[in-house]
Each structure stands twice: as structure tokens, then as C-alpha cells.
Homo-oligomer: A and B are copies of this chain.
């Protein structure tokens, strides 16, 4: 979900910049997460993510709804999200999916931690660590934190993913 279909960076930067009078941008996140850039503020920066409602109003990543809807006509699509670091947000994530991806069956939602438990042919994820023990093919979805990660197939956008899976 996060950084693949749900734009967590936009909101996290927004509330951080507002509360700490900063002007961090997406480009700054190429050198690390906000909490890596300002480790002395890590408790406050991570506290945003523990708010049960933080994930409820994230913007949808561009083109993800349209492309996943098309994928869903041809493939069996599951949403797998790492939710065990901030479990209080599970309900907000569920409601967000039902609002923005209402064409998906909620029986295909997976809230987990270690994604090695997932059995699938493909996993589109921004976090390459999930690919290490994944039984299928990992497709890295470009995000600021993974711009210099190599060794995996990569899509830079949902239009890229559409071309990869449907053309």
C-alpha cells in the first residue's frame, strides 16, 4: 500500500514540515526516511504513524486505481500490506481500501508483517527486502528510498506496470 498505491510520503512530509517549520521535499527522502534525516526528532516523526487515523485520508498514487482495475480483470489481485509495525492503523487501511479500491474483494486483503508468507506469482512492492524470500517475482515500485536499489525489475509508475503486465 504505502508508496505504491497510498501516498504516505506526501502526508508525512506535510505534517512534519507544518509542525517543525521545515521544507523537506520528496527529493530529500532519497537520502533516507524523515526520521533518518532528523534522528533527534524520530519519536515525534514516528508518532504520526501510530495515529489510528493517519492512513485514512492518504491520497491515492496516480493511475493506481485505473491500472489495478484493469489488472483485476486479467489476474487475481491481492493487496498485501505490512501493517504489524503500526497495527492500530489496520482498520483505517481497510476502510481506505474499501473506499478507493471498492472493485477489489476484501477477502483479497492481507495485513501482515513478514511477506515471505505470501504465495503469489508477482509482488509489486517499494521495499526490496520483501523479495528476498518471496516465492514469485518481485517488481520494485520506485519510491524515493529505493532509487539506488539494484538487482530487481522495476516500474516507475502504474503506467509502467500496465505496460509490464498488460502489453
Which residues of A are at the interface with B, using a C-beta cutoff of 8 A?
78, 80, 83-84, 87-88, 90-91, 94, 105-114, 116-120, 135
Contact = CB atoms under 8 A, between A and B. Distances in A.
A117 to B, nearest CB: 5
B113 A109 contact: yes
27 contacts: A78-B114, A78-B117, A80-B117, A84-B94, A84-B107, A84-B109, A87-B90, A87-B106, A88-B91, A90-B90, A90-B91, A90-B94, A90-B111, A105-B114, A106-B113, A107-B113, A108-B113, A108-B114, A108-B117, A110-B111, A110-B112, A116-B119, A117-B118, A117-B119, A118-B118, A118-B119, A119-B119
Contact of A91 (B78, B91, B116, B117): B91
Given A108-B113, A112-B112, 11 more contacts: A78-B114, A87-B90, A90-B90, A90-B94, A105-B113, A105-B114, A107-B114, A108-B117, A109-B112, A116-B119, A117-B118
A87 B84 CA distance: 15
A68 B43 CA distance: 34
A110 to B, nearest CB: 5
Contacts of A108: 113-114, 117
Nearest to A136: B119
A94 B113 CA distance: 12
A130 to B, nearest CB: 11
Contacts of A94: 84, 87, 90
A154 to B, nearest CB: 23
Nearest to A78: B117
